[in-house]
Chains A and B, each alone.
Chain A
Amino acid sequence: DGGITQSPKYLFRKEGQNVTLSCEQNLNHDAMYWYRQDPGQGLRLIYYSQIVNDFQKGDIAEGYSVSREKKESFPLTVTSAQKNPTAFYLCASSIVAGYLYEQYFGPGTRLTVT
């Protein structure tokens, strides 16, 4: 079955540590996205990538970094510079051809930093 895999589902880290969240898709989609979700805030875009080896900052990129070395993989690193990293992180993907494209979301990773 095609879809998006995020691992792990729950992640705990100590303050000051960098942590990398995994996102893999087998939908053959060109575009991939990372969103952060906080209670009552909706989804906020962190980074997105429309092609391998290229990515753009979203609205809240500070304290985060990404890489896109393979079409199917788009890992997100939450660095120690991110002041409030505890959140639910969602990865998504979509095609880039045409205009009627929907985003497919992974199951999410809940990160807790203490």
Chain B
Amino acid sequence: QQPVQSPQAVILREGEDAVINCSSSKALYSVHWYRQKHGEAPVFLMILLKGGEQKGHDKISASFNEKKQQSSLYLTASQLSYSGTYFCGTQDSYSGAGSYQLTFGKGTKLSVIP
């Protein structure tokens, strides 16, 4: 079952902030975040693990609420280059670390305008 992302789309002016949410009905082991520009490959942004470990780019921040099975990606002081579609991918706790299967949400389209 796909995680649910919200909002589906958002338009920002340069310098504004945005939050993208990812919610699952399953107990999660990890949440991954990727950004994809039109017609290109998705690019890794962040991984958050159950228990608090995380890995990602310095300019990106995210949170993982294990109790609520929710993750949020925080985009601050947005730049034109932040435009694209953001996907969360989840790994459920049942499969655990032994399975490398991710289930992706439908994406959040972010447009940053001057």
Residue of B nearest to A99 (CB): B97
Decide: B104 and A103 in contact? CB cutoff 8 A.
Answer: no
Binds A, one of B37-45, B59-67, B68-76: B37-45
* A33–B91 CA distance with the chains assembled, in angstroms: 15
- Residues of A in contact (CB 8 Å), total 28
Residue of A nearest to B50 (CB): A99
Residues of B close to A33: CB separation below 8 A:
100
Residues of B close to A102: CB separation below 8 A:
32, 44, 47, 55
Residues of B close to A42: CB separation below 8 A:
2, 87, 104-107
Q: Which of A45, A56, A100, A107 contacts B40 (CB under 8 A)? A: A107
Candidate in B41, B47, B103 with the most chain A CB atoms within 10 angstroms: B41
Residues of A close to B100: CB separation below 8 A:
31, 33, 48, 50, 94, 96, 101
Q: Does B101 contact A (CB under 8 A)?
A: yes
- Contacts A/B (CB < 8 Å), 27 sampled: A4-B41, A31-B100, A35-B104, A41-B106, A42-B105, A42-B107, A43-B89, A43-B104, A45-B103, A48-B100, A58-B101, A90-B41, A90-B42, A99-B30, A100-B47, A100-B53, A100-B54, A100-B55, A102-B44, A103-B32, A103-B34, A104-B44, A105-B34, A105-B43, A106-B41, A107-B41, A108-B40
Q: Which of A41, A45, A106 contacts B102 (CB under 8 A)? A: A45
B71-109: which have CB < 8 Å to A?
A: 87, 89, 97, 100-107
- Interface size class on chain B is 20 to 34
* A109–B43 CA distance with the chains assembled, in angstroms: 16
Q: Does A2 contact B (CB under 8 A)?
A: no
